Chain A
Amino acid sequence: MSTETRTETDSAKPQQKAASKPAAKRKPAAAKPRAVKSAAVKKAPSKARARKDEVAARCEVLIIGAGFAGLGAAIRLRQQGIEDVVILERAGDVGGTWRDNTYPGAACDIPSNLYSFSFAQNPEWSRSFSGGPEILKYVHYLTDTYHLRPLIRFHENVASLSYDQAQGLWRAVTGDKVFEGRSVIMAQGPLSNASLPDMPGIDTYQGHKIHSAMWDHDYDFTGKRVAVIGTGASGIQIIPELVKKAGFVKVFQRTPGWVLPRPDFQTPDWNRGLFRRFPASQDAMRKALFMFHESMALGIIWNSPLTRLIERIGKAHLRFQVKDKWLRRQLTPDFRIGCKRVLMSSDYYPALQKENCKLITWPIARLSEKGIRTVEGIEHQFDCIVFATGFDVSHSGTPFPVSGIDGRQLNEEWSRGAQAYKSINVSGYPNLFMTFGPNSGPGHNSALVYMESQIDYAVRGIRALRDGNLKALNVKPDAQAAHNEAIQKRLAKTNWNSGCKSWYLTEDGFNATMYPGFATQFARQMADLDLDDYELIIAN
């Protein structure tokens, strides 16, 4: 099915409809999907009443989000011969994270040769750690090379997603349109929503406010008094750039993070030439980088002698770059490395020590009309406050209401912490595949490596539906529970659960974010689609 707009009601498309009988035939999971193919020939008479909503498109696979995950999924689906794909994108262009995060200094903290798809490598990276614009260019390159644009419906912000059990169709409602798909890949991104933090007095501040994920490129920082709130991954990239331009920068830090040097250098021409001519050399480089990052897991994910060694490197980096004892104390983390995201920067500490920069570690009491009042009683006045305060992370909810079989609500089921089967499927929500679902986050390796494993799993699932002529693949609740029990047991021994507060954990300390293992283990987890763990619902 193509992606053209469809206005027919359900009754006009009998071949898309599934049986309206409340209980679809359920096939024992052990049986091979192919064996049920003939069942699909039988079509049950539809009792589904015609809906008033206009169906803008109905397709085999609906993808939500046109960032790395959504585009990558579309590429892989097509490579598997699944062409009937619609991508819903809330913005007017592709790029996701890299379209939205355009603050000065935005860059990836994973080497570019690893922060890219293995099936679409780019020999032209200009730096070892390329900046945001170049990564976005790569996303555009993927979109154009794989002709993905025709699949994308821009400005379609999904408001709700619901499963029509009778028809075996997912229905995404965006503003005034409805899109339907047999399967859905949720690729809206785990860190895609940002808002100004709920700080006392934030509305009283009369100066300019900028969030790192919604940068105001028209604002001229030259000579301005600027505050940066937050010293996480975004903050440490923004600060060195602002210090170059602004009159004065005050950096408000709540918790200092571990900062390791980032070996960022320009890629020599010969290197690019080599990668162009001998792609195998880039493969080898990618593998080497992958293995290096994998080895870091031993120190970052688990507490081991390597943890102490990496901490020593972090402390030596601090000592080497910061001479003042008190400033060093202010910048010394008091949690085990790995517990929060490890920061990578070689220019953050030097920037803090520039004449026109100052680190403030006093707690913030409130924002006032002119600036920020800290607990030591001083009002720090600014022309502009930059909020590098991160993203709205929902550990227990979903970005939009998702309702599954019998109207069950995903955010209700997740109210005590999100969980899924292998991070990708949730029982009761058939044919719904998630990228960066619960417990899929990497702490030491490229997110794109993890993403590829998830995408390929989803593609395998979607192929199984097609090959087996199945209406639905619904993961069994006990398989999901067993998976989560094992994951939580393993998580208890990791550095993430070692006592610090981070966005990885819920208020109650439940870790629904990270995958406790090597990327290799995650890839192995995602390598097999074990149909024994699913209820297979036959199309009839």
Chain B
Amino acid sequence: MASIDLDKMLLKIKSTQWSLSDIDWDAPGADMITEEQWPKLKEFMADLMWIEHVGARAFAAMSKKAPTDTLKEIYSYFHAEEQRHANAEMALMKRWGMLDGDEIPEPNINLRLVIEWLDRYADEMPLYVLGTVVPMLEIALDGALCKFLLDTVDDPVCHQAFEKINDDESRHLGVGFSVMEMQGHGATYIKTVKMLAPLLDPRLLLGIASYFPLLNKMRDNIVELGLPEEKLYAAMEKFEKIGGRTADGRSNPWFQIIRQHAKFVVNRSNRIYHVPVDAMVKLTGYIPKRALPAVPSWVKELTYRPSA
């Protein structure tokens, strides 16, 4: 992917804003969700919404670290846009009667751990770490999950909302890959070693310890929902394909790490990876809620209401 003009991208982002009130959430079609779909979809939407929200927090951290004012502003928009996606998805859940009153659906424990990690450490992470992980999460989870949703749900309002969400996401990915290439540009031995140094940072290790099980957990959830896991893998391979299109992209050591990790995830027969990570998923399932600190206040910013 050729590098994009970030100034033009910022203008485009500003000129293509939409809001929840652009969609008629009471339009006919809500009854197109079948009884069989409903319980699965409820869980699926809650996960999706939380992933958007987690993505939002990551963009907030990246905004603090961005090297230029333009990129800073772009990330602050992406932060808000991911939140908008979460809000829109919550509005869909409301439309489909999946919300318990005004309650925000509970995140699963692996998401909860990632939220905790983001809240504590994300702001201290270098841009190239989050700048590579976030496109991966977006392409894999957003890409695969959204596609699955549109393939299985006929509700026109859902399609209307996701058309807008996907337009935003394509810009997020465009910028994401472009920044990965920027970070890989002019790689030297010293630069590469420097970029890999955070791997020794215990804070990052904790992040990895919550990211690995999250992916496996999401894979399990997807399988449970009836989505062939190959679709998730196909989306993850896209990361390798697009991210590795240019020499700059390939020379970003974090691209190589995430790409290699994606290969582990995709290869179910890699027992050295999957046995311990699956065990972690299981183990984390035993963490009592009481053991976790109160959710950070940014989590409570979610709303399904188009106006406030």
Contacts and interface: CB of A to CB of B under 8 A. Distances in A.
Interface of A: 324-327, 329, 334, 362-363, 365-366, 370-371, 373-381, 501
A376 B304 CA distance: 11
A379 B306 CA distance: 6
B19 to A, nearest CB: 5
A377 B297 contact: no
Nearest to A329: B123
Given A326-B296, A334-B64, A375-B17, A501 B307 contact: no
Contacts of A365: 14, 17, 19
Contact of B17 (A324, A325, A366, A501): A366
A374 B307 contact: no
A110 B61 CA distance: 35
- Listed residue (A324, A373, A378) with the most chain B CB atoms within 10 angstroms of its CB: A378
Interface string B279-308: 000000000000000001110010101111
Given A326-B296, A326-B297, A377 B307 contact: no
Given A334-B64, A501-B69, A378 B17 contact: no
Contact of B80 (A371, A376, A501): A376
A325 B121 CA distance: 13
A373 B308 CA distance: 10
A380 B84 CA distance: 14
Interface residues of B, number: 28
A381 B83 contact: no
Interface of B: 14, 17-21, 64, 69, 73, 76-77, 80-81, 83-84, 87-88, 119, 123, 296-298, 301, 303, 305-308
A375 B308 contact: no
Nearest to A250: B308
Given A363-B77, A365-B19, A501-B69, A376 B307 contact: no
Contact of B83 (A327, A334, A362, A380): A362
Given A363-B77, A379-B19, A371 B84 contact: no
Nearest to B14: A365
Contacts of A329: 123
A377 B19 contact: yes
Contacts of B18: 377
Contacts of B14: 365
B57 to A, nearest CB: 10
B209 to A, nearest CB: 22
A375 B56 CA distance: 12
Contacts of A374: 80
A472 B298 CA distance: 64
14 contacts: A325-B296, A334-B64, A362-B80, A362-B83, A365-B14, A375-B77, A375-B84, A376-B84, A377-B18, A377-B88, A378-B19, A378-B303, A378-B306, A380-B308
Nearest to B13: A375
Nearest to A365: B17
The majority secondary structure among interface residues of chain A is mixed
Contacts of B308: 378-381
Contacts of B301: 376
A381 B81 contact: no
Given A325-B297, A362-B80, A363-B76, A377 B306 contact: yes
Contacts of A363: 73, 76-77, 80
A326 B64 CA distance: 14
A324 B298 CA distance: 10
Nearest to A501: B69
Nearest to A334: B64
A107 B284 CA distance: 55
Contacts of B84: 375-377
Nearest to B56: A376
A363 B72 CA distance: 12
Contacts of B296: 325-326
Contacts of B305: 378
B179 to A, nearest CB: 19
A377 B64 contact: no
Contacts of B17: 365-366, 373, 375
Given A363-B76, A374-B80, A325 B303 contact: no
A372 to B, nearest CB: 10
A378 B297 contact: no
B77 A377 contact: no
A326 to B, nearest CB: 4
Given A324-B297, A365-B17, 19 more contacts: A326-B119, A326-B298, A327-B297, A363-B73, A363-B77, A371-B307, A373-B17, A373-B19, A376-B80, A376-B83, A377-B84, A377-B88, A378-B19, A378-B305, A378-B307, A378-B308, A379-B19, A379-B21, A381-B307
- Listed residue (A373, A377, A381, A501) with the most chain B CB atoms within 10 angstroms of its CB: A377
Nearest to A225: B308
Contact of B307 (A362, A366, A379): A379
A374 B76 CA distance: 12
Nearest to B303: A378
A379 B298 CA distance: 18
Given A324-B297, A326-B298, A375 B307 contact: no
Contacts of A379: 19-21, 306-308
Contacts of A381: 307-308
Contacts of B64: 334
